[in-house]
Amino acid sequence: MDVWQTQGRMEVEKEIRPLLRDYIELLLLTGMRHGTEAMNICWQHIEWHTHKDVRYIRIWVDGKTGGRWLIAKHRAVDVLLRLQQRQADIKHLTLDTVLSTRATHKIFRFSNAYHPHSFVGTFRRLMRDSGLARTAEGENRTLYSLRHTYATLELLNNSTDIHTLSKQMGNSAAMIERHYSKLTATMAA
């Protein structure tokens, strides 16, 4: 995506491609649902959360299963900084200031404050251009596929138990077990 995001020729492509990169990374770093949960995040929904002297980014999302707090991986700070730096009205501030002022602007917006309604078409172009449009089984890759990637990596890395993962993703533990029980042998290995 590093190269692809810079190859847009039209002005809209120059804005939406880097924005899509940040969108994808934030989905992969949180497990949130694309669409309503991710697209409606405003700066006011993001805050620092400290637990046992460690600071985490915490994001409030509201969607299919109601509202919940997500804890983002530490690398999400880099994504937020890139998003902030492309927004003319807040790029002169520090990230801490932006978060503390509880700004009501959406985080996924162009430099002129335009908020795209969806990244689906741009994601399809990215998948096509990168040769990743289909899985090995012949299924189309979608933005929703990133939730499966997140869950699989969390379980394989043994970094999150099923119950915590279900809360983070807004699903039941039974659903997580049903969809990801095939990973049990791999995890045991």
Angle, vertex CA 7, rays to CA 6 and CA 10, nearest 5: 105
Instruction: Give tens-digit pLDDT for 111-166.
Output: 999 999 999 999 999 999 999 999 889 999 999 989 888 888 887 776 677 878 77
Instruction: Please say whether the beta carbons of 59 and 69 come within 8 A.
Output: yes
Separation CA 180–CA 184 (nearest Å) = 8
User: Of residues 186 and 23, which shows the higher confidence score?
Assistant: 23
Question: What is the predicted pLDDT for the residue at 189?
Answer: 61
Contacts of 184 (CB under 8 A, 6+ apart): none
Confidence of residue 188 (pLDDT cuts 50, 70, 90): low
Task: Identify the DSSP state of 59.
Answer: E
- Reading the block at residue 150, the tokens are 């997140």
Instruction: Give tens-digit pLDDT for 6-62.
Output: 999 999 999 999 999 999 999 999 999 999 999 999 999 999 999 999 999 999 999
Instruction: Give tens-digit pLDDT for 62-111.
Output: 988 889 999 999 999 999 999 999 999 999 999 999 999 999 999 999 99
Question: What is the predicted pLDDT for the residue at 169?
Answer: 82
DSSP H stretches of helix in the chain: 11-30, 36-39, 76-85, 95-100, 120-130, 145-156, 162-169, 173-180, 184-188
Confidence of residue 179 (pLDDT cuts 50, 70, 90): confident
Separation CA 159–CA 142 (nearest Å) = 25
3-state SS class at 4: helix
Question: What is the predicted pLDDT for the residue at 174?
Answer: 74
Smallest Cα–Cα separation from 90: which of 78, 101, 79, 76?
Answer: 101
